[in-house]
Amino acid sequence: MKQYETVIGLEVHVELATKTKIFCGCKTDFGAAPNTHVCPVCTGMPGALPVLNRKVAELALRAGLALNCRINQICKFDRKNYFYPDNPQNYQISQLYLPICHDGYVEIPAGEGKKRIGIHEIHMEEDAGKLVHDDWSDSTLVDYNRSGVPLIEIVSEPDMRTADEVIAYLEKLQAAMQYLGVSDCRLQEGSMRADVNLSVREIGNPQYGTRTEMKNLNSFKAIAHAIEGERERQIELLEEGQKVVQETRRWDENKEASHAMRSKEDAKDYRYFPDPDLPPVYISDEWIARVRAEQPELKEEKEARYQEEYGLNGYDAGLLTNERALAELFEATIAAGAPPKKAANWLTGETQRLLKEQEQEVSTIRFSAAHLAALIELVEQGVIQSQTAKEVFAAVFSDDVDPEEYVRAHGLGIENDESALEKAVQGILLANPKAAGELKEGKEKVMGFLMGQTMRALKGKANPEKVREMIWSLVKE
C-alpha cells in the first residue's frame, strides 16, 4: 500500500466577548428568551442600517497582533449573499477582499522543538440566527438573538499533518483568545467552532489532493475522530481508483462517520461585493501601538515566569497556564498569602483530579482563591492534617465553603483528632521518660510539664482536658 500524508487546514470561528452585537446595540447574552435581544438591524427590517461596533475591530486587532499577523490598516466589509431563514438580510456581512489581519502564525510544540502553523487571515463577520423546529406545529421558527453576534474567523494555512497537531493548534488559539479577553472559546457552547479542511496525498507529491470540509465538530475528541475517519475514507477512495469530491461533510460523533451535506441546488456563488452601508475601517498606527502596549501576559510568558519566579516545574507551569482562568486563580491564591508551590500543588493535583472525576472544566470552578489560601494556611499552621485537608478541600471545591468554619463545624481540627493527640502524647512521653516515670509513680506535679510539652507540640490547638486524659491513659498502660 502507498504511504499517504494528511494535509489539514482549519477555519476556526471565535465568538467575540463583546457586550453588544457587531452592527447594532442589542445584547449578546446567551440563553435569553427567543427574539428578545433583537432590533430592526439584526432582524433585517426594511431601511435598517448596520453600524460597526468598534470593540469588534479592537478585539480582532488584539487577536491578530497576538497571532503575529499583518494588519490591513484600511479594511472593508463585504456582503456574502445567500438565502437562508437564519440570515435575516439574506446576506452575511463578512470580509473577503480586505480582511483585518493576514499572514500570521502560531507555534505549536512538535517533538523536541516547535512547528509554525501559518495564519492565512482573520476576518470579522456576523453570526446568524438559530432555527428551531417545532414538532407540535410542524413548522420551523427562527430566533434572531444570535443574529449579529460578532465573530472572527481564523483561517490557517494547510500546515497541519496530524490530529495531534490540530489539537495543539486549537489549544494554542484557545489559550491566546482567553488570555487576550477576546473570547471564552468554549467548543461545547459553540463560542469556538472549528471546520476541518482535509486532503491526503502520496508522500513526496508536491501537489495537494482534493480537500473536503468537515463541520459539526464539538469537541477535541470529535475533531480527532473526524480527522482519522476522513483520512481513511479518502485513502480508501483513492486506493479504489476513485476521486475525492470537493464537498462539505457533516461529522456525526455518535456514528463516528461523516456524510456529505445536502448540496445546494445550484453551485455556490455568494456574489461577494463591498457592503455600501459600511465605510472602510481605518486602523491607525496609534491604535495598533495602543493594542500592542495593552496586550496582557500570554501563556508562554506566564509559563516561563512561573518556573523562574516560583520554581515550579515545567509540567505544572504548563498545566496552570493552559487556561487563563486557572492561571488567574493561581495568582489570586498567591496574592491571598499562599506559598506559590503549595497553591500550585492544590491546583494541579486535587483540583484536576476532582475536575476529571466530576467531568467538569476549569471554567466551572466555583471556589475562591481566598478559600484555597485559607485552607493552605490551616495546613501550614498544623490546624489540620494533610489527609483532613483533602476532605476539607472537597467541600471547598464543590461549595466554596470557608475552610476555617468548615473545620470548626465538623470538628476536624487536630484538637479533636484522637489519633493525632495519641501520637503527640506518645512522642512527648518517649522524649521525657523521666517525667513519664514520675507521673506513673503518682507525682502529679509533672503533669503540668507534660501537658505543656504536648500543647506546644500541637501548637496549642488541643483541648487541655483531653490532653490530660490522654496522658493519664497512656502513662497507665
Residues engaged in binding other proteins (CB under 8 A): 40, 43-52, 79, 81, 83, 85, 88-91, 142, 265, 269, 271-273, 276-279
DSSP H stretches of helix in 244-323: 285-294, 299-310, 314-321
Residue 37 CA to residue 129 CA, distance in Å, equals 11
Rounded to the nearest whole angstrom, what is the least distance from the CB of residue 15 to other proteins in the complex?
23
Rounded to the nearest whole angstrom, what is the least distance from the CB of residue 130 to other proteins in the complex?
14
Rounded to the nearest whole angstrom, what is the least distance from the CB of residue 198 to other proteins in the complex?
25
Rounded to the nearest whole angstrom, what is the least distance from the CB of residue 229 to other proteins in the complex?
30
Rounded to the nearest whole angstrom, what is the least distance from the CB of residue 49 to other proteins in the complex?
5
Residue 440 CA to residue 432 CA, distance in Å, equals 12
Q: Which is nearer to other proteins, 281 or 374 (CB)?
A: 281
How many Cβ atoms are within 10 Å of 131's Cβ, its own excluded?
A: 12
For residue 150, give the C-alpha cell.
460578532
Q: Which is nearer to other proteins, 95 or 321 (CB)?
A: 95
Q: Which is nearer to other proteins, 85 or 311 (CB)?
A: 85
* SS3 category, 315: helix
Q: Which is nearer to other proteins, 112 or 265 (CB)?
A: 265
For residue 112, give the C-alpha cell.
523536541
Backbone conformation region of residue 185, classed left if phi is above 0, alpha if psi is from -120 to 50, else beta: left
Residue 166 CA to residue 186 CA, distance in Å, equals 16
Q: Which is nearer to other proteins, 54 or 366 (CB)?
A: 54
Rounded to the nearest whole angstrom, what is the least distance from the CB of residue 85 to other proteins in the complex?
5
Rounded to the nearest whole angstrom, what is the least distance from the CB of residue 24 to other proteins in the complex?
9
For residue 371, give the C-alpha cell.
478559600
Q: Which is nearer to other proteins, 275 or 316 (CB)?
A: 275
Backbone conformation region of residue 192, classed left if phi is above 0, alpha if psi is from -120 to 50, else beta: beta
Q: Which is nearer to other proteins, 142 or 180 (CB)?
A: 142
How many Cβ atoms are within 10 Å of 104's Cβ, its own excluded?
A: 23
Rounded to the nearest whole angstrom, what is the least distance from the CB of residue 272 to other proteins in the complex?
8
Q: Which is nearer to other proteins, 278 or 325 (CB)?
A: 278
For residue 213, give the C-alpha cell.
470540509
258 close to 252: Cβ distance less than 8 angstroms: yes
Q: Which is nearer to other proteins, 24 or 69 (CB)?
A: 24
Distances (CA, A) of 309 to 98, 298, 339, 406: 43, 16, 12, 33
Angle at 414 between CA 412 and CA 419, to 5 degrees: 100
For residue 31, give the C-alpha cell.
440563553
Spell out the residues 6+ positions from residue 366 whose beta carbon is closer than 8 angstroms to its own: 397, 398, 399, 400
Rounded to the nearest whole angstrom, what is the least distance from the CB of residue 144 to other proteins in the complex?
9
Residue 233 CA to residue 256 CA, distance in Å, equals 12
Rounded to the nearest whole angstrom, what is the least distance from the CB of residue 309 to other proteins in the complex?
47
Which residue type occupies 220?
F
Rounded to the nearest whole angstrom, what is the least distance from the CB of residue 142 to other proteins in the complex?
7
Q: Count how many residues are written for the chain.
A: 477
Q: Which is nearer to other proteins, 50 or 318 (CB)?
A: 50
118 close to 79: Cβ distance less than 8 angstroms: no
Q: Which is nearer to other proteins, 10 or 41 (CB)?
A: 41
Q: Which is nearer to other proteins, 56 or 455 (CB)?
A: 56
Residue 155 CA to residue 108 CA, distance in Å, equals 16
Rounded to the nearest whole angstrom, what is the least distance from the CB of residue 269 to other proteins in the complex?
5
Residue 319 CA to residue 302 CA, distance in Å, equals 11
Which residue type occupies 212?
T
Angle at 208 between CA 202 and CA 209, to 5 degrees: 70
Residue 344 CA to residue 327 CA, distance in Å, equals 10
